[in-house]
Amino acid sequence: MAKVVVTGRIPEAALEKLRAEHEVDAWDGEQSISREELLAKVPGADALVTLLTERVDAELLEAAGPQLKVVSNVAVGYDNIIVADCTARGVRATNTPGVLTEATADIAFGLILMATRRLGEGERLIRSGTPWKWGMFFLLGSSLQGKTLGVVGMGGIGQATARRAKAFGMEVVYQSRSEIDPAIAAELGARRVELDELLAISDVVSLHCPYGPNTHHLIGAEQLAAMKPEAYLVNTARGPIVDEAALAQALREGVIAGAGLDVFEKEPAVHPELLELENVALVPHLGSSTVETRTAMAVLASENTLAVLRGEDPVTPVN
């Protein structure tokens, strides 16, 4: 039996799979495990099942010991893992692509609707007890029909968001490292463009690229200024892709019309200026947060772990 350390609370279905074959030591605190507790928990582990709140680096891998074989992240994003440090020690790293695609695209589209139709503002107004009644010019938003969605990062989640946009009558352009499958591009009517063109012609820009050194502050003051003043920015990928201070300034000064954010630069902190602005919808990293999706993510992470411990290739490796 190998020792599997699970660094946060995960659905029971996934724990059962792990317990059927191995000894499992799972963190059960309501809050994320602290760095000190994590470093104290991992020595002797053959496998780590990690959440995106835990940083996996040389220090942690060292603390675990040379018997460690796999780090299975319960997330599609793995910017919390220094993959090179894993590879250098012969440790497999895995993520959970595919299973959270639709749930995350739902939240991206939810934020598009919240921002363009001012749903958060409307809800805050009612809850505040402010008197209101229907009026011709009351809380007017912006229609999606006939507008252009610009998808930055056209992987599975970007494509699923584009599919929703098509159903809402939007045109789709995308920026991506490579062309997508021509059949999917044709189905979506999606055209690949450079980021500059995407920013200039899109009415809604939705971010779906991974976070890393190449995408740090991909959207800053210059890129926001390149967008139309009536356009919206939505981020369900990773917070630091957007320069939050520049975004707050752009929203305050009307450089763009509005934004919707599920992720934040210094998560869970939110830039204080964003909290003061009406034209930004803010939700707390809910992209994958459905019972079905979180269960599927944790089960996939368990399958990756079990495969490596059996000496097989993981289902969804990142190294």
Residues that bind ligand DGY (CB under 6 A): 52, 75-77, 100, 285, 287-288
Q: Distance between CA atoms of 70 and 59, rounded to whole angstroms? A: 15
Minimal distance in Å, beta carbon 37 to ligand DGY?
22
Nearer to ligand DGY, 171 or 303 (CB): 303
Q: Is 118 a catalytic residue?
A: no
Shorter beta-carbon distance to ligand DGY: residue 185 or 297 = 297
- Among the listed residues 118, 285, 294, 303, the single catalytic one is 285
Of residues 52 and 114, the one with the C-beta less far from ligand DGY: 52
| Annotation marks residue 19 as catalytic | no
CB of 233 to ligand DGY, least distance (A): 18
Complex with ligand DGY: residue 6 or 250, whichever CB lies closer: 6
CB of 292 to ligand DGY, least distance (A): 13
Catalytic residue flag (residue 238): yes
Nearer to ligand DGY, 75 or 231 (CB): 75
Q: How far is the CB of 213 from ligand DGY (least distance, A)?
A: 18
From the candidates 21, 62, 121, 267, give the one annotated as an active-site residue: 267
Q: How far is the CB of 31 from ligand DGY (least distance, A)?
A: 17
Q: Which of the residues 118, 208, 238, 271 is marked catalytic?
A: 238
Burial zone of 99 (CB within 10 Å; 0-12 exposed, 13-18 middle, 19+ buried):
buried
- Give the active site residues: 238, 267, 285
